[in-house]
Amino acid sequence: MDDEGLGGLFDWVAPGEGDPPRYAAVRSACIRLARTIEQHCPDSVERTTAIFKVREAWFFANEALQRKG
């Protein structure tokens, strides 16, 4: 990947006027899912991994919102 393409991966994009509610909705849904996993799955490496993956999904969803999909 050239420097121009790589640089685009690290650009910061300011949220648009209508974006904060979208970020909040995604965050809220991820928190609900993580809490459900925590409540219903036994304490284990798998539960920890599942919660980490929810956090990872939240991260990438925020990236999609930031880059406007």
Secondary structure of the chain in the HEC alphabet?
CCHHHHHHCCCCCCCCCCHHHHHHHHHHHHHHHHHHHHHHCCCCHHHHHHHHHHHHHHHHHHHHHHCCC
Question: The whole model's pTM is what?
Answer: 0.79
Residue closest to 15 by CA, chosen among 7, 6, 24:
24
Confirm if 30 and 55 have CB atoms less than 8 A apart. Answer: yes
Check residue 26 and give its pLDDT: 94
Q: Where are the domains of the chain?
A: 16-66
Span 23-53, pLDDT tens digits: 999 999 999 999 999 999 999 999 999 999 9
